[in-house]
Amino acid sequence: LLRRSTSAAELRLLPRRSEHGLRRCLNWWDLAWLGFGAVVGSGVFVLTGLEARNDAGPAVILAYAAAGFSALLSVFCYAEFAVEIPSAGGSFSYLRVELGDFVAYIAAANILLEALVGAAGVARSWTSYFATLIDRDPDSLRIHVAALADGYNLLDPIAVGVLITCSAIAATGTRLTSRLNWITSVVSVAVIAFIIAAGSAHADLSNLVPFFPYGAKGVFRAAGVVYWAYTGFDMVATMAEETKNPARDIPLGLIGSMTAITVVYCVMAFVLCSMQRYSSLDPDAAYSAAFAAVGMRWAKYLVALGALKGMTTGLLVGALGQGRYTTQIARAHMIPPYFALVHPRTGTPVNATILVTGASACIALFSSLDVLATVSSISTLFIFMLMAVALLVRRYYVRGVTPTSGLLKLLASLVLIVLASIGISACWGSSSPGGWVGYAVAVPVWFLATAGLALLVPQQRAPSVWGVPLVPWLPSLSVAANLFLMGSLGYEAFVRFAICTAVMLAYYVLVGLHATYDVGREEEQMLLEGTVQDSGGKGVAGGAV
């Protein structure tokens, strides 16, 4: 349960279980465009109209800004880990090294849930925009089954076909998919430029009034949902094992693309809400319908085409990242090791890609977008919160070096930071008139716990190349921001999250715990043998953190 992996195991031992290595063929330019392709299309085209109409109104602009700020904090954490541990496992590998097997498994299960649900949601939106492109109702291409519950009764075979096609392309080769992504992303840039220019020409600022029709709580509820729009960057982090120079390329690619995407989202949300009153927005294909409403009916075809392209590249990059997450999880034997194999000709994890695609296709066939978005968002926020905690552990704790007193201070600070963050979120969600009392307690506790960590606990490790600035303040703020946005989601999201977590725990107790125990003993033996065989210099364990 508590065993922690090492950098050496994640980078040297686990890849051996794939029989063939992943090919290093990407640079910062590829990563930046992969980030752009993964995010733009699976967010702003899908959720802006839905959340503006149902939760935030025109203030969905601020929802994107808040979610983008929180995502950028997480990007800093991912970038440091990806530079230090450039593994295909992404956050699964990072958490396994710093927080142990059990936490890594919970994160891995949520990563897979996020990947499956996210891909299914984008694929269903692809069907909606395609229907708009051919002048059909968004649900006209779906099959209605009256016997199924609402939210699950519109079967979508087109979404299944799109998922299979994108995954097949991704399985043919990473370099090919990357080139296809950044070349076709020029289409997205052109469509975004058109939307901003043409939309601004038809803007009516009176549509922005009232700006907060659902209040501040609606804004943060929307922020929790649209956070799903920023999840593509964690897929880019899984490309570290295939990056030529991770120390330089990953920070440039991740931080650069996420900053640009946040600005683009906010501007596009502003244009949409100024073109059409929020209560009239089409929740399925908002941009196309908005242009039709201002008399530019022909423009909806261009917008729909650009949205389809954006969603398609999002699915392509998602297939790349999901396959690599699944590969590393299989390397650790948390799922059958058959899915860790890398194809000798393509250099890609074909088996893992097939597994994720098949599961996503089943979900996409039945589940509606609003159900999928809330499940994916809560899993994503939970993982990003764990990543911030893991970064603090990495900076302040080194096995065999940190004294017991330092470890106890670190644990106390982390517990107080997490509890205070939960308290702030609970106060925000409470309707009690005396809620300010909770803020008066929780906010100072968060501040003092973070200050205590900064002043009383010396950092035990400095990043070798690139690191998160203002530690512990930025990671602590990331913990608070992610937990706050989690608390802004509805009750149903937590029920679904709890059910999924219960299933995950049952699988871990019955299968995963025993498999990882056997693998852990095997890793220890391999590290020992490698060190003995190479006693004249660095062994396999040499340089392990």
Phi (first) and psi of residue 142, to 5 degrees: -105, 160
pLDDT per residue as tens digits for the range 264-288: 899 999 999 999 999 988 886 788 7
Q: Is the pLDDT of residue 543 over 60?
A: no
If you search the block for the tokens 């909606």, which residue do you land on?
128
Which range, 140-149, 384-393, 506-515, has the best average confidence (pLDDT)? Answer: 384-393
pTM of the model: 0.81
490 or 202: which leads in pLDDT: 202
pLDDT > 90: percent of the chain = 21
Range ranked top by mean pLDDT from 351-355, 428-432, 490-494: 351-355
User: Binning pLDDT at 50, 70 and 90, where does residue 534 land?
Assistant: very low
Judged by average pLDDT, the poorest of 69-73, 155-159, 332-336, 446-450 is 332-336
CA distances from 508 to 337, 365, 516 (A): 15, 27, 10
Q: What is the pLDDT of residue 450?
A: 95
pLDDT digits 0-9 by tens, 31-50: 888 778 777 765 677 688 88
Choose among 326, 334, 349: nearest CA to 100: 334
Task: Please determine, for residue 20, whether its predicted confidence score (pLDDT) is greater than 90.
Answer: no
Dist. CA 238–CA 257, nearest whole Å: 15
**Residue 446 above 80 pLDDT?**
yes
Residue 472, pLDDT > 90, answer: yes
Confidence at residue 489, expressed as pLDDT on a 0 to 100 scale: 74
Does residue 539 register a pLDDT over 50?
A: no
pLDDT exceeds 80 at position 460: yes
Please check whether residue 462 is in contact with residue 200, taking contact to mean a CB–CB distance below 8 angstroms: no
Q: What is the per-residue pLDDT for 108?
A: 79
- What's the pLDDT band for 374 if we cut at 50, 70, 90? low
Q: Which domains does the chain have, with CATH numbers?
A: 28-397 (1.20.1740.10)
